[in-house]
Amino acid sequence: MKILHVLDHSIPLHSGYTFRTRSILKQQHARGWQTVQVTSPKQGNDSATIDEVDGLTFYRTAPPGGIATKLPALNQLALVPPLAKRILDAVKDHQPDVIHAHSPALNGLAALKAAKQCGLPVVYEIRAFWEDAAVDHGTCKEGDLRYKMTRMLENYVIKHAEQVTTICEGLRRDLIQRGVPDTKITVIPNAVNIEQFNVITSKDLALEQELGLQGKQVLGFLGSFYGYEGLDLLVAALPQIKQHIPNVALLLVGGGVQEANLRNQIKQLGLENDVIMPGRVPHADVGKYYSLVDLLVYPRKNMRLTDLVTPLKPLEAMAQGKLVLASDVGGHKELIEHNKTGWLFNADNVDDLARAAVDILSDQAHWPAVIAQGRHFVEQVRNWQNSVANYQSVYPGLKG
């Protein structure tokens, strides 16, 4: 089986693919499937090239030219023809059996355009509804023209693709509500490469001393500081938590659009000595920071994006034997079984967040069982080998 992947523009040029895509490609190769990758013009290439990254072939697409590239809306559609042409270049060279386009819809449109000429089936993979992410980022409002046009394009791709995959049940249910046949949709859930994560059993003492966290019970979050992550709710809950657990501290590792707002909030609440924000850290050092955290908190706010889409971070935390507390949005409820593999609190409720954190930090006798059950979940259920096996029923004509 030979698969041509059309990859989304969020994938960095230097590495070639995101964590999820890397894991999928690795498992597909382990099954003996061959792949070739085509990347969107949004990669930022100056010209069409063919690159080798980690033994994988990437066809880069040159940026489009012309007046359409300077006009709103049309500048997005202008990406489709050159990407479709690049897909056909790769088809000619590698003769794949199927075109697998990863969202956003522009990639799907290019895949369909190319497939019409070469007669190949298209599988369209949805990782999120981009219009919902744009609402949180402030680039559109729910129901406005841009929101509706983005959804219309996605619905077109979904309708004309032979098969559709999603990363979670929330997205699948939404598509069914739109009238997409259940038999056309397969869930390929987010997972972890369990062999890459060791259970953390001790704290990095040098880093603990450097950050001044000795003798502290540490709440933590490692990731990007987007508005939908709800980190402002976590900061707002900290004074209540401190009333019950005076030696508590909050470690926020990462950065993003909400960083300045969070720093201002921390200052206004007088929490400068209780919240540590080291910024973005090298990937090789991330495990050291995880080691310092007693309870990872994921306070995502309740909105379409978080209700429909599952994150990866809680799975990575469980894989390392860390405790997780998360808001009860739909995306989290697919990953965390309350009081078994982690804990859930009422989304957008600062009081319930504070109560849950105090209860967990005060009941250490319960920690070992939850840690073991969380690790077992990612080992036995949410691993990439299991997840990628679901493609076996997706690719047209695929034989086991």
| pLDDT tens-place values along the chain, 400 residues long | 899 999 975 445 444 457 888 889 989 999 999 999 999 887 777 788 898 888 889 999 988 777 766 666 667 788 899 999 999 999 999 999 999 999 989 999 999 999 999 999 999 999 888 777 666 666 667 777 777 888 899 999 999 999 999 999 999 999 999 999 999 999 999 999 888 899 999 999 999 999 999 999 999 999 999 999 999 999 999 999 999 999 999 999 999 999 999 999 999 999 999 999 999 999 899 999 999 999 999 999 999 889 999 999 999 999 999 999 999 999 999 999 999 999 999 999 999 999 999 999 999 999 999 999 999 999 999 999 999 999 988 987 654 3
313: left (phi over 0), alpha (psi -120 to 50) or beta: alpha
pLDDT recorded at residue 192: 92
How far is the C-alpha of 184 from the C-alpha of 186, rounded, in Å?
A: 7
C-beta of residue 232 within 8 angstroms of C-beta of residue 327: no
Could you tell me whether strands 122-126 and 98-102 are parallel, antiparallel, or unpaired per DSSP bridges?
parallel
How far is the C-alpha of 107 from the C-alpha of 198, rounded, in Å?
A: 36
Rounded to 5 degrees, φ, ψ at 286 are -60, -40
| Angle in degrees, 0-180, between the axes of helices 231-244 and 259-268, rounded to the nearest 10 | 30
pTM above 0.85, yes or no: yes
C-beta of residue 135 within 8 angstroms of C-beta of residue 59: no
How far is the C-alpha of 309 from the C-alpha of 236, rounded, in Å?
A: 25
Question: What's the angle, vertex CA 307, arms to CA 199 and CA 194, rounded to 5?
Answer: 20
Mean pLDDT of the chain: 91
Evaluate the CA torsion angle 90, 92, 95, 100 in order and state its sign.
positive
How do residues 285-311 score in pLDDT, each as one tens digit?
999 999 999 999 999 999 988 999 999
Residue 169, exposed/middle/buried by CB under 10 A (0-12, 13-18, 19+)? middle
Evaluate the CA torsion angle 309, 315, 318, 322 in order and state its sign.
negative
25 half-sphere exposure, CB direction, 13 A CA radius: 22
Rounded to 5 degrees, φ, ψ at 380 are -95, -25
Pair of tokens at residue 381: 């259920």
CB within 8 Å of 8: residues ≥ 6 apart: 18, 40, 102, 103, 104, 107, 127
pLDDT recorded at residue 120: 95
C-beta of residue 108 within 8 angstroms of C-beta of residue 161: yes
pLDDT recorded at residue 154: 92
CA proximity to 306, closest of 72, 136, 103: 136
389: left (phi over 0), alpha (psi -120 to 50) or beta: alpha
CB within 8 Å of 129: residues ≥ 6 apart: 151, 154, 171, 174, 304, 305, 308
pLDDT recorded at residue 188: 95
pLDDT recorded at residue 54: 82
CA proximity to 124, closest of 175, 82, 58, 49: 175
pLDDT recorded at residue 16: 46
C-beta of residue 21 within 8 angstroms of C-beta of residue 102: yes
Residue 92: other Cβ atoms inside 10 A: 9
The SS3 of residue 156 is: helix
- Full strand arrangement of the beta sheet holding 122-126: 49-53, 56-60, 34-39, 2-7, 98-102, 122-126, 163-166, 185-187
What is the amino acid identity at position 240? Q
C-beta of residue 191 within 8 angstroms of C-beta of residue 23: yes
How do residues 141-193 score in pLDDT, each as one tens digit?
777 777 788 889 999 999 999 999 999 999 999 999 999 999 999 999 999 98
**DSSP type of residue 183:** G
